[in-house]
């Protein structure tokens, strides 16, 4: 079982698993479009879900230094994170807890709206699979949406930390 398999189990039910699976089938840029559209439509309810749990000071490279980079560098960093590449920014992102990862995507969506970071091309039209996935996400209740967001953001970025095997996986009881 991989770390992403373990995190995918956090999704609540069949409907949320299907959304996560559909998201994982999208290509890199389509995933970025989904994030932008979801945060544009639902961002105000996503980040405040756990405001005390997010710690923006833990990620100055992603939440301040990032804004100083060129559009091309910003887009490449987003792609590296989505693709789980072993790069500086992807490692920084991968080391964050899910609430902070949610905050990063929310801040980036706001930055796109404010033209502080690279945004969607003016004439961009989302594909049918992206629009369907956004609609499916909107159709879920808040708890299901949060489960999806936490699962997806938690699977991104690079980390070489391996999950601790469960008793069911090892067949051994803890020594405590």
How far is the C-alpha of 116 from the C-alpha of 64, rounded, in Å? 11
Give pLDDT, residue 155.
94
Q: And the tokens for 87?
A: 């790069």
Q: Is the Cβ–Cβ distance between 119 and 112 less than 8 Å?
A: yes
Q: And the tokens for 121?
A: 């091309």
How many Å is the Cα radius of gyration of the chain? Answer: 17
Over residues 51-73, the mean pLDDT reads 82
pTM confidence score: 0.81
Model confidence pLDDT, tens digit, residues 14-35: 889 999 999 999 999 999 999 8
């Amino acid at each position: 079982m991989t770390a992403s398999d373990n995190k995918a189990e956090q999704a609540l039910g069949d409907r949320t698993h299907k959304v996560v699976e559909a998201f994982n089938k999208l290509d890199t840029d389509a995933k970025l479009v989904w994030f932008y559209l979801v945060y544009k439509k639902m961002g105000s309810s996503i980040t405040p879900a756990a405001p005390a749990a997010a710690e923006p000071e833990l990620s100055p490279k992603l939440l301040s230094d990032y804004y100083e980079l060129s559009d091309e560098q910003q887009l490449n960093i987003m792609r590296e994170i989505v693709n789980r590449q072993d790069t500086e920014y992807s490692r920084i992102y991968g080391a964050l807890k899910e609430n902070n990862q949610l905050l990063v995507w929310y801040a980036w969506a706001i930055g796109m709206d404010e033209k502080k970071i690279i945004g969607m091309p003016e004439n961009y039209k989302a594909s049918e699979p992206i629009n369907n996935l956004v609609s499916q996400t909107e159709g879920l209740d808040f708890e299901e949406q949060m489960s999806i967001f936490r699962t997806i953001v938690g699977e991104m970025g690079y980390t070489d930390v391996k999950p601790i095997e469960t008793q069911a996986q090892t067949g051994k009881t803890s020594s405590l």
